[in-house]
Structure formats: C-alpha cells, structure tokens
C-alpha cells in the first residue's frame, strides 16, 4: 500500500559469492533508495483496477496506477535506508513482503527524482475527505502486539480508511452485525465511521482452525495467528 504508510523494518539480503557486497560501497550515505522487485504472489494481471483513492469516475487503467496486478509483475518502492552491513541492506518504511525477490537497488537522488510541481493525472481530481484513525483499548493492544511480531496493520488501515471511507466506488469493507469489517490478508479489522474519525474497535484472526493456510500465508504467518489467538483468547 506504498511504503509511506508503513513503519515496517526489515532488510534486503544479497546473495553471497557474486561480489555484491562491493556493489554496496558508498550506498550508506543515502537516506532513501529505490528498490525494484517482483510481485511474487501475483499470478495474473488486470487491465483495469480500483486504486485506494478515487476521483469518482470508476476503475483506472493499470498503467495509470501503482497496482501490483501488472502484465510484468515488477514493483518499485522508495524506502528509507537505515544502514548497510556486509551483504545486508537494512530498510524501513517498506511495503515489501517477506521473501520478496529484489531485482535491483538504486539511490534516491532528490535532484533527479523529485518533481513536486508535476501534474498528477486523475489524482489531481481526487478530493480527500480525511478522517482521524482512533484505536479503542483492545484494538490498540492488539495492533501493538502484532507490530511486536512484525505484523504492522497501521499502514493498510490508514490507506483504506483514513481518506474517503464512505467512497462507494470501492468495496473497502462489508457490514456485519458487529460493525464494519475490513479484510486484509488473514486479518479482520472491525470499525465504525464517526463524523470526523474512524474508530477501530477490534482486530481478529481470520482463522477458524489451523488445519490449512489461508490465502498467501506461510507457516510463519500462521504461527503469529496462533500466538495472537492464544494471547487474546480469541473464541472461533
């Protein structure tokens, strides 16, 4: 959902035996880097897509968006460079998933890469109705617990619900008896929309049992769900 919405920390590990470590010489002086990578969980592409923000005029062509569902599944993110150590590049503010294959690393150079007055196409017509995001007690405890286990839901909640949460052109959530429900991977976010704020009331695991992995989850993801369910005594 773009690294700017994320506080996730991680590292890119370069394969040993190819002198890649030498290629990292002098990278440490840059504050941001471009990372080119592969959307390795995507098996198809979509010519039209619904981006997080809408101008009210329907779906957009994939080449006019940052959608991951592309003919060639190549991603590009600008992330903060924290440090370089041996064959590892430590980063933060990243939207990359675990085990994402990285194609290349390039320095972000503000002189060449920043055009603050550039036209933004259909995005110039987007009116952002900005809401505050408020976490109630149990939801705040749960999201903090998940972040300690390297699952950061702040970014997806902000990108989906902070701007124009009532937007009817995108199916952001569904209504349930317990409140509005946002699904993200195998996590479930229960919330309500007030006059000026979106109130996150609870966060739950999407697992009813642990017989099979959900979606693109791996064994590590399932383990976090098990710990989460046990810690908060979630009832299926």
pLDDT number for residue 216:
80
pTM: 0.65
Q: What are phi and psi of 220, to 5 degrees?
A: -65, -40
Distance CA 39, CA 60 (A): 20
* Long-range CB contact pairs, 24-32, < 8 A, 24+: 24/84, 24/87, 24/89, 27/81, 27/84, 27/89, 27/105, 27/107, 28/81, 28/83, 28/84, 30/81, 30/107, 30/108, 30/109, 31/80, 31/81, 31/108, 32/78, 32/79, 32/80, 32/81, 32/107, 32/108
Per domain, the residue ranges of the chain are 3-120, 132-232
> CB-based burial of residue 139 (10 Å sphere; 0-12 exposed, 13-18 middle, 19+ buried)?
buried
pLDDT digits (tens, 9 = 90+) for 69-110: 899 999 999 999 999 999 999 999 888 888 899 999 999 999
* Class (C level, CATH) for 3-120: mainly beta
- Residue whose structure tokens are 């064959």: 87
Cα–Cα nearest to 92, from 17, 155, 38, 137:
155
pLDDT band at 122 (very low <50, low <70, confident <90, very high): confident
As its CATH architecture, domain 132-232 has 2-Layer Sandwich (3.30)
pLDDT digits (tens, 9 = 90+) for 197-233: 999 999 999 998 899 999 888 899 999 999 999 999 8
> CB-based burial of residue 174 (10 Å sphere; 0-12 exposed, 13-18 middle, 19+ buried)?
exposed
């Amino acid at each position: 959902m773009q690294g700017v919405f994320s506080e996730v920390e991680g590292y890119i590990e370069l394969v040993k035996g190819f002198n890649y470590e030498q290629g990292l010489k002098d990278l440490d002086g840059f504050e941001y880097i471009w990372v080119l990578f592969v959307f390795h969980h995507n098996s198809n592409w979509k010519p039209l897509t619904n981006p997080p923000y809408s101008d009210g005029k329907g779906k957009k062509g994939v080449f006019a968006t940052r959608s991951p569902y592309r003919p060639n599944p190549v991603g590009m993110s600008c992330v903060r460079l924290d440090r370089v150590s041996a064959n590892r590049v430590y980063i933060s503010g990243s939207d990359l998933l675990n085990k994402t294959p990285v194609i290349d690393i390039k320095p972000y150079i503000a002189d060449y890469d920043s055009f603050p007055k550039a036209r933004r196409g259909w995005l110039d017509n987007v009116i952002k109705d900005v809401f505050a995001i408020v976490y109630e007690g149990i939801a705040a405890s749960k999201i903090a617990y998940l972040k300690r286990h390297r699952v950061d839901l702040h970014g997806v909640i902000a990108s989906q619900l902070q701007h124009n949460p009532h937007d009817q052109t995108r199916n952001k959530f569904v209504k349930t008896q317990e409140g509005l429900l946002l699904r993200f991977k195998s996590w479930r976010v229960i919330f309500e929309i007030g006059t000026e704020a979106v109130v996150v009331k609870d966060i739950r695991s999407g697992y009813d049992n642990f017989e099979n992995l959900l979606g693109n989850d791996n064994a590590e993801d399932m383990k976090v769900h098990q710990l989460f369910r046990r810690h908060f005594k979630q009832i299926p």
